[in-house]
Chains A and B, each alone.
Chain A
Amino acid sequence: MKNKPGLRKGNFFESIAKGERIVTETHAEINNEDITLDVKEFNLFYGAKQALFDINIKIPKGKVTSLIGPSGCGKSTLLRSVNRINDLLSIVRIEGNMYLNDDPIYDPAVDVIELRKRMGMVFQKPNPFPMTIFENVVYPLRIDGERNKNVLAEVCEKSLRGAALWEEVKDRLNDSALAISGGQQQRLCIARAIAAEPEVLLMDEPCSALDPIATNKIEDLIDAMRGEYTILMVTHNMQQAARTSDYTAFMYLGRLIEYGPTGTIFQAPHCQETSDYVTGRFG
């Protein structure tokens, strides 16, 4: 296929093969947004293997941003770097920094636990804890030592409503969380993630383990959360990115290639590679 007019001909793939530094094509619209999370010159290594290269990305407040890219390109790695879950692996080494509302994330002085309390995370596979539905939702409060029953009940209801699960489970809050369906479990995990009112909500392919109906529900939920929560979501599914997100970032081989409003990324990307990927020519 011929290049569309206006496409930037960077030929990233060749540069990557040569080991050259990639400068992300960041669209100008980002500059008009309030920024919640700011990633600056971020590199990450698994042992000797580098997984992320010079990542620069600003995640706007109150918007849904999705990370797309072929499998193994480092989307999860980037997401898990934000709340430093990757730190649990001893082989991980990083360079550069990130800032959550201007507070550095990677800094010797940072208390990782305090930092994680400011974020929520939803994993690829639903991972409800082995306890009741109620206890699952209020877990973040429990570990903070909250004992007031009224506060807990209030937060539980609010979070479950926020995760569009309240109506389905309100009569069995004391049942085991392991007894509900997979889709419900994932929404429960979302409720848990928003219980402590996080500044940013990280989602790693939240629908990939679910059936289409459950997926629809989660997508509707994400849609409804727009504006209230800052969401950074990894997805493998381009239709999903197109449907749910305001901004989309395209990653490839550990590099961030292009980042801009979702509409533009899918209809008129600036880069040839992005165009090839979103039209399904590789990946």
Chain B
Amino acid sequence: MKTDAAVQKSTESKKKNSFKRSSRQRAKASLFAQGEPMIWLTGGGLVVSLMMIAGLMTLIVINGINTLWPKPVDLFVTYDNKPYMGEITRVEHFNPAKSELHQHQEKVNSDAVAYFEKHNGIAKRMLVRTGNFDLSGEHYNWVNEYDVREHTTPEQACVVERTSWGRFYGFPSAFLYNGEVIAQDDNQIWETFNKHHKEVRKRWRTQRKLETHEIGKINFYEEKERLKLREKELKFGIESEQWNTQNDHFKSFHARSQSAYEDIRTEINSLKEENDKYKIRFTTADNKEKIIPLADIVRMYPANSLTFFDRMNIYLSRWHEFLFDEPREANSEGGVFPAIFGTVVMTVIMSLAVVPFGVMAALYLREYAKGGLVVSTIRISINNLAGVPSIVFGVFGLGFFCYMVGASIDDIFFAARLPNPTFGKGGILWASMTLALMTLPVVIVATEEALSAVPNSMREGSYACGAGKWQTIWRIVLPRAMPGIMTGMILAMARGAGEVAPLMLVGAVKLAPELPVDGMFPFVHLERSFMHLGFHIYDLGFQSQNSEAAKPMVFTTTLLLITIVFILNMLAVKLRRKLRKKFVSAKF
């Protein structure tokens, strides 16, 4: 008050006694004082990060979406009369050496010389997916444009996706039934193909199912019986009374499963026999003949005479296969369903494990611990844990979960199966636990923050009602902190779902034929190895034999992984919004 009055007085007196301005003038507001450059600087930072994100996403989305779109088939014939037929996967420009140019001059084609003159010495080359690995030993071939004498897109050229050997490109020449030609001209062949393909594939799928599921089931249950017998042996000794009863039981069980096995085998054989009757004969571009059983053909289409809707159909059917089928051809073809399943299950188990532990730890730190040196040391350690490279967690998980905890579980519960490990190796449970450990700091920090954001007045209100400490925490503090805890969970999920390095050590594998959840008792098999989209990406990109074919799938798989993480996050965000509405928003 006083100072205000004093200031007022002095300004008044100034007004009164001078038109002279004081010699000391205030500096003009500089550009920096106004903050104009800062707007540009901060805005620029934002733009750069946005552009990076947008660029990455565009790359992934465009490539991911394009991969499965059916391309036309091109036929190149070079000057030395070699035909290359297939899909163009990549185009490059390069600067061929002078010596190579001279070679070509010496050789037949003078057109090549003209080509070079026209293009200033820069040449184009195409990576053509020629397929037919079983015949040529190559999946891809580089074709230089200046080598090409003739370029056509033959109407009858046909792309065949098969269960093994990769793609096949050729011209169908006959449809065989029981070794006899029943269709020869193009239309007839397609007609017969469309007529029989579905049922043949259906039989093939039934056969696969019998081979994997049914026979797997028999093996599974027989193995169980065998383990029971072994258990008795370990417990009571061989030839003991208990062992004998079990052995008799085992023998009768074995006999029964043996006959069941025989039945299934007969069924499989009859299916196979029926399917073996249908075959298609092809001629390749270099005039070789190839007979492919219809059952091996996943998809076949005349790539150059497709309408837009045909293409769309193939595209969608490929997406369907990609999402819901198992991989084939060393993962470079087929679907990624096991990997999707493994990723989701692992992320869910991880969240279920990390949230309770993280919340409990944070509750102790925030609500019970008295503070002081020990607690701050613990806090710093937890924060540092977040900076430990994830592979270190993988090593720890392998050593601790697999080799210590898992091996102990094996010793106690699965002794009969030793020396084969059950839990004493990588598996989805240990992978989830390892990632839970890795993401624990995120959850603890977020929860602590959420807990400290709960107004003290609420705690006091609860105590004033006669509530105890735990009642207050359970009924007031936790619900109110729940949205913040969910934030922690979302961050943990996003980090965990995208993590690959530690998984390689604790259970993610290239190919896991058995899902961690299936129809065989006890239905959930947490000890099993599993496939994971992140690991799948790594495997496709860097471990694949047919890496050119696998590479485009990297983008598609990445797109899928991002989508899954996004969906999981959206679900969590939705849940959080619901909780926030219920517990936090206070409108006056």
Which residues of A does B touch, CB under 8 Å?
83, 85, 88, 90, 113-114, 116-117, 119-121, 123, 125, 127, 129-131, 139-140, 142-144, 176, 178-179, 181-182, 189, 192-193, 196, 202
Q: Across the two chains, which residue of chain A brings its CB closest to B458?
A: A127
Of B17-25, B65-73, B138-146, B459-467, the segment with at least 4 beta carbons within 8 Å of chain A is B459-467
For the residues of B in contact with A, the DSSP-based class is: helix
Chain B residues with CB below 8 A from A125, complex form: 457
Known contacts A143-B471, A181-B588, A182-B588; decide if A127 and B466 are in contact (CB<8 Å): no
Closest chain A CB from B457 CB (angstroms): 4
Complex Cα gap A177–B587 (Å): 10
Chain A residues with CB below 8 A from B455, complex form: 127
Give chain B's interface residue range (CB within 8 Å of chain A).
20 to 34
Chain A residues with CB below 8 A from B459, complex form: 88
B460 near A114: Cβ-Cβ < 8 Å: no
B479 interface neighbour in A117, A120, A131, Cβ under 8 Å:
A131
Known contacts A116-B464, A123-B457, A140-B465; decide if A130 and B471 are in contact (CB<8 Å): no
Q: Is B585 an interface residue (CB 8 A)?
A: yes
**Residue from A123, A140, A178, A181 whose CB has the most chain B CB atoms within 10 Å:** A178
**Residue from B465, B475, B476 whose CB has the most chain A CB atoms within 10 Å:** B465
Complex Cα gap A90–B455 (Å): 18
Chain A residues with CB below 8 A from B586, complex form: 178
Chain B residues with CB below 8 A from A88, complex form: 459-460, 463
Q: Is B291 an interface residue (CB 8 A)?
A: no
A143 near B466: Cβ-Cβ < 8 Å: yes
A130 interface neighbour in B457, B584, B588, Cβ under 8 Å:
B584
Closest chain A CB from B175 CB (angstroms): 70
**Residue from B455, B459, B462, B586 whose CB has the most chain A CB atoms within 10 Å:** B586
Q: Is B583 an interface residue (CB 8 A)?
A: yes
Closest chain B CB from A236 CB (angstroms): 18
B461 near A196: Cβ-Cβ < 8 Å: no
Complex Cα gap A123–B464 (Å): 10
Q: Across the two chains, which residue of chain B brings its CB closest to A209?
A: B588
Chain B residues with CB below 8 A from A116, complex form: 463-466
* Interface residue ranges of B550-588 to A (CB < 8 Å): 581-588
Chain B residues with CB below 8 A from A119, complex form: 464
Closest chain A CB from B1 CB (angstroms): 15
Complex Cα gap A119–B479 (Å): 25
B461 interface neighbour in A123, A176, A178, A181, Cβ under 8 Å:
A123
B464 interface neighbour in A85, A176, A178, A181, Cβ under 8 Å:
A85
Closest chain B CB from A152 CB (angstroms): 15
Complex Cα gap A176–B579 (Å): 11
Chain A residues with CB below 8 A from B463, complex form: 85, 88, 116
A83 near B464: Cβ-Cβ < 8 Å: yes
**Can you pick out 19 interface pairs between chain A and chain B where the beta carbons lie within 8 Å of each other?**
A85-B460, A88-B459, A90-B370, A116-B464, A116-B465, A123-B460, A125-B457, A127-B457, A127-B458, A130-B458, A130-B476, A130-B584, A131-B583, A139-B475, A140-B465, A142-B475, A143-B465, A178-B587, A196-B465
Q: Across the two chains, which residue of chain B brings its CB closest to A141?
A: B465
Closest chain B CB from A116 CB (angstroms): 4
Total number of A-B contacts with CB less than 8 angstroms? 80
Q: Is B230 an interface residue (CB 8 A)?
A: no
Q: Is B216 an interface residue (CB 8 A)?
A: no
Known contacts A88-B460, A130-B476; decide if A176 and B465 are in contact (CB<8 Å): no
B461 near A127: Cβ-Cβ < 8 Å: yes
B461 near A130: Cβ-Cβ < 8 Å: no
Complex Cα gap A193–B584 (Å): 22
A129 near B458: Cβ-Cβ < 8 Å: yes
Chain A residues with CB below 8 A from B468, complex form: 113, 143
Q: Is B480 an interface residue (CB 8 A)?
A: yes
Chain A residues with CB below 8 A from B476, complex form: 129-130
A179 near B461: Cβ-Cβ < 8 Å: no
Give per-residue flags for B466-491: 1 if the beta carbon is below 8 A from chain A beta carbons, else 0. Answer: 11100100011001100000000000
Chain A residues with CB below 8 A from B584, complex form: 130, 178
Give per-residue flags for B449-460: 1 if the beta carbon is below 8 A from chain A beta carbons, else 0. Answer: 000000101111
B462 near A129: Cβ-Cβ < 8 Å: yes
B466 interface neighbour in A90, A123, A182, A196, Cβ under 8 Å:
A196
B465 near A114: Cβ-Cβ < 8 Å: no
Complex Cα gap A114–B533 (Å): 56
Closest chain B CB from A61 CB (angstroms): 21
Beyond the given pairs A116-B463, A127-B455, A196-B466, 12 more chain A to chain B contacts, judged by CB atoms under 8 angstroms and listed by A's residue number, are A85-B463, A88-B459, A121-B464, A123-B457, A127-B458, A130-B458, A130-B583, A130-B584, A142-B475, A143-B465, A143-B466, A196-B465
Closest chain B CB from A218 CB (angstroms): 16
Known contacts A130-B583, A143-B475, A181-B588; decide if A192 and B460 are in contact (CB<8 Å): no
A113 near B457: Cβ-Cβ < 8 Å: no
Chain A residues with CB below 8 A from B480, complex form: 130
Chain B residues with CB below 8 A from A144, complex form: 466
A189 near B465: Cβ-Cβ < 8 Å: no
Complex Cα gap A85–B583 (Å): 24
Q: Across the two chains, which residue of chain B brings its CB closest to A116?
A: B466
Complex Cα gap A140–B583 (Å): 19
Complex Cα gap A121–B465 (Å): 7
Closest chain A CB from B361 CB (angstroms): 22
B465 near A127: Cβ-Cβ < 8 Å: no
A120 near B583: Cβ-Cβ < 8 Å: no
